[in-house]
Amino acid sequence: KERDYFNPTVPIDWDLKWRVDGRNARLYNVQDSKWYFNAYSETQAKIYAEYAENEDPEFKWGDPRRMALEAGCSFAQFGSLTLSSGTYSLHSYLGNPPNKTPETNGYAKWVGTPEENLLLLRGAVRFFGGDDVGVMEHDTHLDRVLCTYDMNGYKNSFEDIDEPYQTQSPKVTGIPNSYKWCFTWTLRQPMDATRRQQGGIMRAYPNYNKYGEAESVGVWRAYSELAIVENRLQLFLRGLGYRGIAGGMSAITSGNAIATVAGCMEHARMGQVAVHPKFGSTVRGTYKMMTNFPLAPTKPIDAGIYEFCKSCQICAEHCPTGIIQKSDPTWTTGRNPEDGNDNGTFGEPLPYQA
């Protein structure tokens, strides 16, 4: 069922919600940071290898069929396209140059109501390969969800300008104030591949996963599709006479945050933070765009997921590394209080929203 606007099942005190710095999302990679955690260590590799052996004693990383699937799904992985001339990113804040627009081709610009536009956009998302769409209109709530700087290090700067821009020095993304709508769209990864994958870490160790594979063919395929769908949507909006600014997973803000407030998903216990009421935890991406295409805002949902997660601990019980905590929800720690390794961070707010 739908809830009131800005009132998802996870409690949010909007008066206390501050804009976060997306650059802090990578602090766990910085060795001098108190948030540092080496997720690619030999210790972690051993945990995954032993887990895979226990789940399937006949599991072998070197199976040529498994390796071939990994190779095939590496195309455009995370939106990076490697050609003989070099490696290129399919993600673009401004989008690829359009090949059809009302201005250049002489046809009429599409004009519809926000409700009609939402239906049109949702249909396009599904046609291009995505699933659902959620929308937030720019107000103080969206301001609190948007990052000051995104995870790529670009400052989000709303300005009285006609066209968006992006500069490299300093790193700034200029967003016109006329871009009053932020929408998120979801894309699930292949169900069968997700249910059967063994996991692992993307680093090779002689005794544990010497090929450095993670058996994440479903993940890699989804990320390449996310990049392709994002480009299609940007070109689609240009074809209507509007524009969408994006830039991939790490741009603008957290897609899961928008998806939770805008009703695509619901906050949950497991590490990806939000779960889809139909597709569960198989949704790989909640990408987002700011746009000048008028859209009807959508409401958060209550599918019972948040409350269910308080009593169900299956994901935490089966997590190989024990990262997912089993206690009640908390707003003040980025560490699992059950693993005995808090690095002095308990009682502090998270440096970045998930």
pLDDT in tens, 77-111: 888 887 778 888 888 889 888 889 999 999 999 99
The listed range with the strongest mean pLDDT (40-49, 110-119, 201-210, 274-283) is: 110-119
Per-residue confidence (pLDDT) for residue 350, from 0 to 100: 56
Q: Say what the pTM is.
A: 0.89
pLDDT at 200 over 70: yes
Per-residue confidence (pLDDT) for residue 244, from 0 to 100: 97
Look at 209 and 175; give whichever has higher pLDDT.
Answer: 175
C-alpha–C-alpha distance, residues 253 and 148, integer Å:
9
C-alpha–C-alpha distance, residues 184 and 172, integer Å:
22
Residue 351: pLDDT band with limits 50, 70, 90:
low
Residue 234: pLDDT band with limits 50, 70, 90:
very high
Percent of the chain with pLDDT over 70: 93
1 in any annotated domain? no
280 in any annotated domain? yes
352 in any annotated domain? no
How many domains are contained in the chain? 1
- Between 68-82, 84-98, 339-353, the lowest mean confidence (pLDDT) is in 339-353
Per-residue confidence (pLDDT) for residue 66, from 0 to 100: 84
Distance of CA 196 to the CA centre of its chain: 22
Q: What is the pLDDT of residues 122-140, one digit of tens each?
A: 999 999 999 999 999 999 9
Per-residue confidence (pLDDT) for residue 268, from 0 to 100: 92
348 in any annotated domain? no
The listed range with the strongest mean pLDDT (326-330, 336-340, 342-346) is: 326-330
Q: What is the pLDDT of residues 15-65, one digit of tens each?
A: 877 788 888 888 778 888 777 888 888 988 888 888 888 888 888 778 898
Per-residue confidence (pLDDT) for residue 354, from 0 to 100: 42
Residue 349: pLDDT band with limits 50, 70, 90:
low
Side-chain half-sphere of 88: how many Cα atoms within 13 Å?
Answer: 7
Per-residue confidence (pLDDT) for residue 5, from 0 to 100: 96
Q: What is the pLDDT of residues 303-334, one digit of tens each?
A: 999 999 999 999 988 888 787 888 888 766 54
334 in any annotated domain? no
Q: Domain range spanning residue 93?
A: 22-318
277 in any annotated domain? yes
